[in-house]
Chain A
Amino acid sequence: MPARPRRVVHVLAIVAFLALLATPLAIRYFSAAAPVGDAALSASAALARHGFSLRERSQAAGIRFTHRPPALDPKLEHIMPAVAGFGAAVSVVDFDRDGWLDLYVTNSAVGSRNALYRNKRDGTFEDVAGRLGVADVNRPATGVSMGAVWGDYDNDGYEDLFLYKWGRPELFHNDEGQGFTFVTERAGLPAWINANTAVWFDFDGDGWLDLFVGGYYPAELDLWNLEHTRIMPESFEYAQNGGRNYLFHNRADGTFEEVGEAMGLTSRRWTLAAATADVNRDGDPDLFVANDFGINELYLNERGRRFREIGRPANVARTPKSGMNASFGDVLNRGEWNLFVTNISEPGVLIHGNDLWVPAQGSGDAPSYRNLAGAMGVELAGFAFGAQFGDLNNDGWVDLFVTNGFISGDTRESYWYDYSLITGGHRNIIADAGNWPAMRGRSLSGHQEDRVWLNDGTGRFHDVTRAVGAANPYDGRAVAFADLWNRGVLDVVVAYQRGPLLVYENTVTPEHHWLAFELTGARSNRSAIGAEVRLYWAGMEQVQQIDGGSGFAAQNQRRVHFGLGAHAGVDSVVVRWPSGVVQTIPSPAVDTLHALAEPQ
């Protein structure tokens, strides 16, 4: 080739080389400089720009709760923050049926006390857990709390409390809102489960709530009295040495029988979260299980007779990640269930990325999903834990709140190098906690802010965390949504590991309308958990359901809350009760909470 064209190509190649070297820098620069809505704004500016603002007012509401973590066997002392990094949880309930939502919050140190914050209807709460018998539940030799879910298992009209622990599971019968009776032994629950999730749902449609409980550490381990240190996952992608999962069938007489393995729940992955929804629209609630150190699982409910695992063919279990959350929501107003799963994302170290699973072929007997988290802007949150869908600004599109951060230690020292060192090893090395380098007070994805992602209705979410006032430095675990003061908005409650319980009061622009429903089952379970409510308005359809536990270590209010945007009317609402009864409400009034009873 002649020398001159060769020189030209050489120069062009050099230019291209330099341009490509500059590409990452340019992307970082322009990403940082882009006019994102995450600059801090005043409440009025946030209200004007995003339609809502959040104000943290736990202290003013009389909530002064600080989570205390577990202190396990001294053999684990060198990595205690990592192995005991769970336990902060929050669940919403109206335990006394006064029409005002209350909060149950867990603590996790031996001897620490859980709190039941009763809503005093004046903007404040009082802790009545001690008086009602659900505070002193972290006693020595019984394990410590990891979370709680409420459901009316005996259909007496009052929601009962199931407390899952690294220890003895505890079931408390609600005595008409006046107190609680410990009924674990009578109910026939196991003596010990190292559980990190539980969900109430009526899997066989008999009108009585059943219970799924997900194990993290194997149930054989008493984490306070270990005989050895081989307690860690055997793999960081395909660990099968975690706790088993349980499915407790409600016998309708106050007792439960464990049917998990018989029903097809046989894996021993490290389960952190679970949620239910009827993903194939056959009328039965299906079950999604999010697993740490491995692939997730999607179980189709086959008429209450068996669960069939379809995670891989459904495309939700092809790549092992670090599943920590499971939340169903309808983000595109198509009347179908999307699923949000949080995972670890630590730039430059480990980028699993969150999953937002959207049905690819419509719903059917064999649902298949595509992960649109990246396309929709919700892939990277941090070391993400709990998340919930809810319409925070009542604009008619569900938004997403994700809480972040694992271990906040020394801000200058990170444990990630040691973590990456050990996790690459053979299972015999990593499964033994004795081989793990000491943490020595270092951070592991600590000091991360939560994320408030606003759904713009075009398939994109925008980070408005700082703008709406939700930035904080704590290690988040559980998020729950509830209309705490009956104002027609979703307030946000976040539980932080080794940190406070924060209560964000939501202020929403009055230009946006809303509609909410509180359901009471008759043929269905009394809590109506699993009921689907479809709202038709402005040419759109949005589906929501009554929550028996979702997110991570959390449970939202049992009401369903729809934002309507500027539309002051709706076409209809269709309720499909768990019994299968379908009820249509034409043009219900807006800006109000409707109480619906299941037709007999």
Chain B
Amino acid sequence: MKFDRSLTAPLVITLILIGAHWSYGMLRGYEAIALAVFSALGTELALRRFFTDQPHRLSSAYISGISIAILVRSPVLWPYAVGAILSVLSKYLLRVNGRHLWNPSNFGICVLLFLAPFAVAPLSVQWGNDLWPMLVIWAVGLNAVWLAKRAHITLAYVASFFLFALVRSLITDSSFLTEAAPITGPMYQLFALFMVTDPKTTVSSRWGAVAVVCLVAFVEMLLRLAEVIYAPFYALFLVGPAALLVERWRTSRARARQEPDARAAPSLSSHQT
């Protein structure tokens, strides 16, 4: 039996979730996890048959639900349902030429942080600020993105983050360690390993994806200089769709150029026929 690689990310995130909550009690509670996951899965089941003719693949919705459960802290339960449902809805409604624009989890989290700061906060529990959990998460996560052939994106983001942390430290007169500190936390690990690498919301070319993620890090730096606490989420929210739209525009322009040429010169295949 062959292992379905699309299940790698859900499995890894689930393992992280279980380990994190068991060892560090990092989640609000099991009811929040269940609400977020089932809200996302229910929305996916309800919409997919109407919007596509493809069979149900629940891994994406599962990741969205569980990401909301991990990355959002709230004393009330409704944000977990609202965030999860919005994540999945955005996937079906905010599309251009059949492709969704935002990473669903990123969309749901940004909407909650922007519209409901009175009720939610981003993840605050940090694996005890220990070295070993951090190394384990990075090792397992990097292996997962390597298998999914997305490691170059994560590595480019991490390198960019450190570079821009250095720039920030020069500008703000803070120490480099201070500016680089967030990347050792779980929020960044999940962001760099599983959010920026989403194949559906990244440009298709290898170097294009690297350029986009460097741009995400750059915008994040600008937001951090403006003391925006949720800088990475907002940076991806702004840059990701813009990059996709640019890619779409360039693709259609190239296609438009090729079509007159194709009409002017009969193809080899038409000759042969």
Contact = CB atoms under 8 A, between A and B. Distances in A.
Given A13-B89, A17-B86, A28 B116 contact: yes
Interface string B116-154: 111111001110111100100000000000000000000
B210 interface: no
Contacts of A9: 47, 50-51
A318 B75 contact: no
Interface string A1-37: 1000110011001101100110111011001000000
Given A24-B82, A421-B178, A426 B131 contact: yes
Contacts of A349: 121, 229
A539 interface: no
Interface string B25-43: 1100000000000000000
B85 to A, nearest CB: 6
Interface stretch (B7-15, B182-190, B192-200, B259-267): B182-190
A1 B53 contact: yes
Nearest to A419: B229
Interface stretch (B107-115, B201-209, B233-241): B107-115
A417 B227 contact: yes
A23 B84 CA distance: 13
B171 interface: no
Interface in B80-110: 82, 85-86, 89-90, 92-93
Interface of A: 1, 5-6, 9-10, 13-14, 16-17, 20-21, 23-25, 27-28, 31, 234-238, 295, 318-320, 345-353, 374, 379-380, 414, 416-418, 420-427, 429-430, 434-437
Contacts of B53: 1
Contact of B182 (A13, A414, A425, A427): A425
Contact of A320 (B25, B49, B73): B25
Interface of B: 24-26, 47, 49-51, 53, 73-76, 78-79, 82, 85-86, 89-90, 92-93, 111-113, 115-121, 124-126, 128-131, 134, 172, 174-175, 177-182, 184-185, 187-188, 224, 227-229
A54 to B, nearest CB: 27
Contacts of B120: 348, 351
Contact of A434 (B175, B181, B184): B175
A347 B129 contact: no
A20 B121 contact: no
A348 B178 contact: no
Given A21-B86, A351-B120, A430-B181, 8 more contacts: A6-B51, A10-B51, A235-B126, A349-B229, A417-B229, A422-B178, A426-B181, A435-B177
B174 A437 contact: yes
B112 A13 contact: no
25 contacts: A9-B47, A9-B50, A13-B93, A16-B85, A21-B115, A23-B78, A24-B79, A24-B116, A27-B78, A27-B119, A28-B118, A235-B129, A238-B130, A319-B125, A320-B125, A348-B229, A379-B75, A420-B229, A424-B126, A424-B184, A425-B178, A425-B181, A426-B131, A429-B177, A436-B178
A17 B25 contact: no
B119 A24 contact: yes
B136 to A, nearest CB: 14
